[in-house]
Structure 1
Amino acid sequence: MPTIRITALTDPERSPSAHRLAWLASDGDGTPVGSAFLRLFTAPGVLPRHRERGLALWMKAAAILHARRRHPQVGGLLTDTADTNPYTRNVNDALGYAPTHATYEYQLDL
């Protein structure tokens, strides 16, 4: 079976705070082979009054377990986290994620 990479994306039709997540599946040469979108019904991350209880860690761990069970052929997961977000970076570190690349976002006002 060919190697498939799952990449987290930003929904281009919404702002980052619009409670939407998107993923792109691509094969070994980078050709897109599938996509998935998820709309969240709560604020992204953990609301301030519920922080420091480990919820982000538990939610992300649950997502990893779900991916492992549903897609055992996938060899790894990629998550995007801003350098300015130490909370999520700490969660990623605790789960064994390692930095792999830098992403730059550009905007063109029309």
Structure 2
Amino acid sequence: MKAPTNRRRAIAKALTALLPLAPYADMEKIRAEAGRAHLHNLPPTIAVWLAIIAHIRHAHTDYEKLLADGYDRDSARFFVIEQTNIVLTRWRATRFLDADDESE
């Protein structure tokens, strides 16, 4: 199900503000994820941030490999923080992950 038009606009605006130089293909995947039903009750900026981090983690880091090697989710997430922030830096993100922040 597609998000209502106002929500899609808010997601697009938040995505552009958070990731000004992300590749189009990545932005489209993040935009689609941020609009999914399980993130619908969150403000668009939070939904976009969670979708960004999940996308980068799964598509641009060793996260999946760490899980396959037997690491639990929290440990795998910890070990890919630097890789995630490298991608965020390349995409000129306005926000980054902090190892002390347990909300992501």
The reply to whether TM is greater than 0.5 is no
Greater RCO between the two (CA within 8 Å, min separation 6)?
Answer: 2
Q: Which has the higher strand share?
A: 1
Q: TM-score with structure 1 length normalisation?
A: 0.28
TM-score normalised to structure 2 length: 0.29
